[in-house]
Amino acid sequence: MWGFIKKVGRAIRDGIGGTVSTLWNGLKWAIHRIFGIFEMIGSFFGFMPTKKLKVKVVILLDAQKQPIASRADVDKAVSLAKEVFKDQAHVRIISPTGPDELIVGIHPEPAPEFVMNPLCDGGGFGQVFTRVGRWFRRHSARTHAGSYLGYGSPATIFVVNDVQNKNGCFIGVATDYGYIDGDALGRSEGVLLTLAHELGHACDLFRHKDRTLMESGPGTRSRRLTRRQRAIVRSSPRVTFR
């Protein structure tokens, strides 16, 4: 009986935590989007001084304390994402702890089994309100300005065992985290662009069948961003001058 009560209590705690986090993220996002309208207009018409996007990529360990993916493979995806955001949007991808710090790291302890195969889309949003979302929130990168004010909030990408029915996922406004799996580290550029694609979602871009970075299928995905997409990325609350 006591075990059941504790289980229900934890579920209620996780649900409340997910709700508060989602509402707070949504409020911060809405405020910054209002103030970002001028940046969006300027970027749309080609005024694009260099800005920054803070990103942390965390490779999870399995139960045998083995990394889910090699750092070298993940570094390739990060390097490609850096090129895309710099060339297409004049945005530098840096570590949340500083421009000279490493973006890719390995989680120091084996991750619990319940976070190794996360869902995406509606199922992923539902997990925000469970122990899955709570674990990812607890281990996401934070900055004072980003966590409390929403200014330059870092995007954390976890490398997991399997994103179910996807190669990667980022829930969007509701979270500051997303995930990719080993299938996102393939040899073809379209597949390797999965990390950059998810960072596009982190900066408010939607999937779009236009042979750009946000193309749903990796077979026709490219590095290109449209003028409208560049404006949305550059005016995202995550993308800042400092």
Query: 206: buried, middle or exposed (CB in 10 Å: 19+, 13-18, 0-12)?
Result: exposed
The pLDDT of residue 8: 66
The pLDDT of residue 3: 64
Tell whether the model's pLDDT for residue 2 goes beyond 70.
no
Tell whether the model's pLDDT for residue 227 goes beyond 90.
yes
**Higher per-residue confidence, 236 vs 144:** 236
Mean pLDDT of 156-182: 94
Per-residue pLDDT reduced to its tens digit, 172-219: 888 999 999 999 998 899 999 999 999 999 999 998 878 899 998 888
Tokens read off for 181: 């799996």
Beta-carbon contacts of 138 under 8 Å, excluding residues fewer than 6 positions away, are none
The pLDDT of residue 10: 79
Q: Is the entire prediction scored with pTM above 0.85? A: yes
* Buried-exposed string 48-86: b where 16+ CB fall within 10 A, e elsewhere: beebbbbbbbbbbeeeeeeebbebebbeebbebbbebbe
Count how many Cα atoms sit within 13 Å of the Cα of residue 161 in the half-sphere of its side chain.
13
Tokens read off for 125: 């949003």
Q: What is the dihedral of CA 89, 95, 99, 102, to 10 degrees?
A: -120
Per-residue pLDDT reduced to its tens digit, 53-83: 999 999 999 999 999 999 999 999 999 999 9
Mean pLDDT in the chain? 92
Domain extent at residue 163: 2-240
The pLDDT of residue 76: 96
Per-residue pLDDT reduced to its tens digit, 83-133: 999 999 999 999 999 887 899 999 999 999 999 999 999 999 999 999 999
- What are the strands, taking DSSP E only, across the chain? 51-61, 91-94, 104-110, 155-159, 168-170, 177-180, 239-240
Provide the domain count of the chain. Answer: 1
Tell whether the model's pLDDT for residue 149 goes beyond 90.
no
At 222, which CATH number?
A: 3.40.390.10
**Higher per-residue confidence, 216 vs 154:** 154
Question: Distance of alpha carbon 69 from its chain centroid, rounded?
Answer: 18
**Residue type at 68?**
I
Which residues sit opposite 67 in a β-bridge?
Answer: 61
**Higher per-residue confidence, 14 vs 233:** 233
